[in-house]
Protein backbone atom coordinates (compact mmCIF):
# COMPACT_ATOMS: atom_id res chain seq x y z
CA UNK A 1 0.00 0.00 0.00
CA UNK A 2 2.82 2.37 0.97
CA UNK A 3 4.72 1.67 -2.24
CA UNK A 4 1.54 2.30 -4.26
CA UNK A 5 1.11 5.81 -2.71
CA UNK A 6 4.77 6.58 -3.34
CA UNK A 7 4.32 5.49 -6.98
CA UNK A 8 1.20 7.67 -7.36
CA UNK A 9 3.01 10.65 -5.79
CA UNK A 10 5.96 10.12 -8.15
CA UNK A 11 3.61 9.99 -11.16
CA UNK A 12 1.84 13.20 -10.06
CA UNK A 13 5.17 15.00 -9.59
CA UNK A 14 6.38 13.76 -13.00
CA UNK A 15 3.17 14.90 -14.74
CA UNK A 16 3.24 18.28 -13.01
CA UNK A 17 6.87 18.78 -14.03
CA UNK A 18 6.13 17.74 -17.63
CA UNK A 19 3.18 20.12 -17.76
CA UNK A 20 5.37 23.03 -16.69
CA UNK A 21 8.30 22.36 -19.02
CA UNK A 22 6.64 23.47 -22.27
CA UNK A 23 5.77 26.89 -20.84
CA UNK A 24 8.01 29.72 -22.04
CA UNK A 25 8.23 33.07 -20.29
CA UNK A 26 9.03 36.18 -22.28
CA UNK A 27 9.33 39.82 -21.26
CA UNK A 28 8.96 43.02 -23.25
CA UNK A 29 10.39 46.24 -21.88
CA UNK A 30 8.10 49.16 -22.67
CA UNK A 31 9.66 52.62 -22.93
CA UNK A 32 7.87 55.77 -21.72
CA UNK A 33 9.01 59.36 -21.56
CA UNK A 34 8.91 61.40 -18.35
CA UNK A 35 5.30 62.45 -19.12
CA UNK A 36 4.23 58.76 -19.22
CA UNK A 37 3.89 58.93 -22.99
CA UNK A 38 4.32 55.44 -24.49
CA UNK A 39 7.22 55.41 -26.98
CA UNK A 40 7.69 51.75 -27.92
CA UNK A 41 9.39 48.47 -27.04
CA UNK A 42 13.08 48.42 -26.10
CA UNK A 43 15.30 46.73 -28.69
CA UNK A 44 18.78 47.88 -27.64
CA UNK A 45 20.32 50.02 -24.93
CA UNK A 46 23.89 51.30 -24.58
CA UNK A 47 25.70 54.23 -22.93
CA UNK A 48 24.86 56.61 -25.79
CA UNK A 49 21.97 55.06 -27.72
CA UNK A 50 18.52 53.58 -27.26
CA UNK A 51 16.71 51.68 -30.03
CA UNK A 52 12.98 51.12 -29.74
CA UNK A 53 10.42 49.34 -31.89
CA UNK A 54 7.39 51.43 -32.86
CA UNK A 55 4.56 48.87 -33.23
CA UNK A 56 2.15 51.27 -34.96
CA UNK A 57 4.75 52.07 -37.66
CA UNK A 58 6.23 48.56 -37.86
CA UNK A 59 9.76 49.93 -37.65
CA UNK A 60 12.46 51.05 -35.22
CA UNK A 61 13.76 54.40 -34.07
CA UNK A 62 17.16 55.27 -32.58
CA UNK A 63 17.58 57.86 -29.87
CA UNK A 64 21.16 59.03 -29.46
CA UNK A 65 21.74 60.78 -26.17
CA UNK A 66 24.53 63.10 -27.30
CA UNK A 67 22.84 63.70 -30.71
CA UNK A 68 26.13 64.74 -32.33
CA UNK A 69 24.72 64.18 -35.83
CA UNK A 70 21.15 65.49 -36.07
CA UNK A 71 20.49 63.90 -39.49
CA UNK A 72 21.91 60.50 -38.55
CA UNK A 73 22.11 58.71 -41.89
CA UNK A 74 23.18 60.25 -45.19
CA UNK A 75 20.15 61.49 -47.13
CA UNK A 76 20.47 61.92 -50.91
CA UNK A 77 18.51 63.90 -53.53
CA UNK A 78 18.13 63.74 -57.29
CA UNK A 79 18.42 67.57 -57.40
CA UNK A 80 21.55 69.70 -56.80
CA UNK A 81 19.98 71.70 -53.93
CA UNK A 82 18.57 69.05 -51.55
CA UNK A 83 15.03 69.58 -52.80
CA UNK A 84 12.52 66.97 -53.83
CA UNK A 85 12.22 63.43 -52.55
CA UNK A 86 14.83 62.38 -49.98
CA UNK A 87 16.51 58.98 -50.49
CA UNK A 88 18.76 56.69 -48.45
CA UNK A 89 21.28 54.26 -49.87
CA UNK A 90 20.79 51.54 -47.28
CA UNK A 91 17.17 50.93 -46.28
CA UNK A 92 17.67 50.45 -42.57
CA UNK A 93 14.42 49.42 -40.89
CA UNK A 94 14.27 52.62 -38.89
CA UNK A 95 12.73 56.06 -38.80
CA UNK A 96 15.02 58.89 -39.98
CA UNK A 97 14.66 62.17 -38.08
CA UNK A 98 14.91 65.07 -40.54
CA UNK A 99 13.36 67.64 -38.20
CA UNK A 100 16.64 69.61 -38.16
CA UNK A 101 16.68 69.88 -41.96
CA UNK A 102 14.66 71.99 -44.39
CA UNK A 103 12.48 68.93 -45.10
CA UNK A 104 11.45 68.51 -41.48
CA UNK A 105 9.66 65.65 -39.77
CA UNK A 106 10.24 61.95 -39.48
CA UNK A 107 10.57 59.59 -42.45
CA UNK A 108 10.95 55.88 -43.10
CA UNK A 109 12.22 54.02 -46.20
CA UNK A 110 9.77 52.89 -48.87
CA UNK A 111 11.18 49.47 -49.80
CA UNK A 112 8.98 49.19 -52.89
CA UNK A 113 10.04 52.51 -54.41
CA UNK A 114 13.76 51.94 -54.94
CA UNK A 115 15.34 53.43 -58.01
CA UNK A 116 18.80 53.68 -59.51
CA UNK A 117 20.25 57.14 -60.13
CA UNK A 118 23.30 59.34 -59.52
CA UNK A 119 22.36 61.90 -56.84
CA UNK A 120 23.17 65.58 -57.23
CA UNK A 121 23.15 66.55 -53.53
CA UNK A 122 22.94 65.13 -50.03
CA UNK A 123 22.44 66.08 -46.39
CA UNK A 124 25.55 65.29 -44.46
CA UNK A 125 25.33 64.08 -40.84
CA UNK A 126 24.87 67.69 -39.67
CA UNK A 127 21.86 68.29 -42.02
CA UNK A 128 23.92 70.60 -44.25
CA UNK A 129 23.18 70.42 -47.99
CA UNK A 130 26.22 69.46 -50.04
CA UNK A 131 26.60 68.88 -53.77
CA UNK A 132 27.81 65.39 -54.48
CA UNK A 133 29.15 63.33 -57.34
CA UNK A 134 28.24 59.73 -56.66
CA UNK A 135 27.98 56.66 -58.83
CA UNK A 136 24.59 55.56 -60.02
CA UNK A 137 23.36 52.99 -57.47
CA UNK A 138 20.08 51.95 -55.86
CA UNK A 139 18.42 54.40 -53.48
CA UNK A 140 15.24 54.05 -51.42
CA UNK A 141 12.81 56.99 -51.11
CA UNK A 142 11.85 58.25 -47.68
CA UNK A 143 8.19 58.88 -46.92
CA UNK A 144 7.07 61.11 -44.09
CA UNK A 145 5.40 59.41 -41.11
CA UNK A 146 3.56 60.69 -38.08
CA UNK A 147 5.25 59.51 -34.90
CA UNK A 148 2.82 57.81 -32.50
CA UNK A 149 3.81 60.28 -29.77
CA UNK A 150 4.57 63.98 -29.51
CA UNK A 151 8.12 65.25 -29.82
CA UNK A 152 10.38 66.31 -28.31
CA UNK A 153 10.14 63.55 -25.77
CA UNK A 154 10.49 64.42 -22.09
CA UNK A 155 13.54 62.97 -20.35
CA UNK A 156 14.41 60.94 -18.34
CA UNK A 157 12.92 57.84 -19.89
CA UNK A 158 11.02 55.22 -17.89
CA UNK A 159 10.97 51.47 -18.43
CA UNK A 160 8.21 48.99 -17.56
CA UNK A 161 8.54 45.23 -17.88
CA UNK A 162 5.59 43.28 -19.24
CA UNK A 163 5.86 39.50 -19.08
CA UNK A 164 4.00 36.99 -21.18
CA UNK A 165 3.70 33.24 -20.78
CA UNK A 166 3.33 31.15 -23.88
CA UNK A 167 2.12 27.58 -23.37
CA UNK A 168 3.27 25.08 -25.95
CA UNK A 169 0.96 22.03 -26.08
CA UNK A 170 2.53 18.59 -25.76
CA UNK A 171 2.15 16.35 -28.78
CA UNK A 172 1.71 12.60 -28.78
Q: Note the pLDDT tens digit of each residue in 24-45.
A: 556 789 999 999 999 999 999 8
In a domain, 13, yes or no: no
What pLDDT, in 10s, does the model give residues 3-26? 545 544 444 444 444 444 455 556
Q: Is residue 4 part of a domain?
A: no
18 within a domain of the structure (yes/no):
no
The residues, any chain, with a CB within 8 Å of residue 151's CB and separated by 6 or more, are 99
Quick check: is 31 in a domain?
Answer: no
Query: How many whole angstroms separate alpha carbon 101 and alpha carbon 165?
Result: 44
Q: How many domains does the chain have?
A: 1
Q: Does any domain span residue 23? A: no
The whole-number pLDDT of residue 67 equals 61
Nearest to 52 by CA among 160, 166, 142, 163: 160
Looking at the whole model, is its pTM more than 0.95? no
Residue 99 resides in a domain: yes
Asked whether residue 108 is domain-assigned, the answer is yes
Question: Could you tell me if residue 104 is left (phi over 0), alpha (psi between -120 and 50 degrees) or otherwise beta?
Answer: left
On whether residue 88 sits in a domain, the answer given is yes
C-alpha span between 26 and 76 (Å, rounded): 40
Q: Which structural domain, as residue segments, surrounds residue 132?
A: 49-152
Amino acid sequence: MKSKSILITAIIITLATAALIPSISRADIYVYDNNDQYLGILLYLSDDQLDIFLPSLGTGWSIEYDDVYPCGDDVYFDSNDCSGTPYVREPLPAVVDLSNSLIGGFHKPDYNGKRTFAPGSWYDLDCQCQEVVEASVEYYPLTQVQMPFTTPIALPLKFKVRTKTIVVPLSD
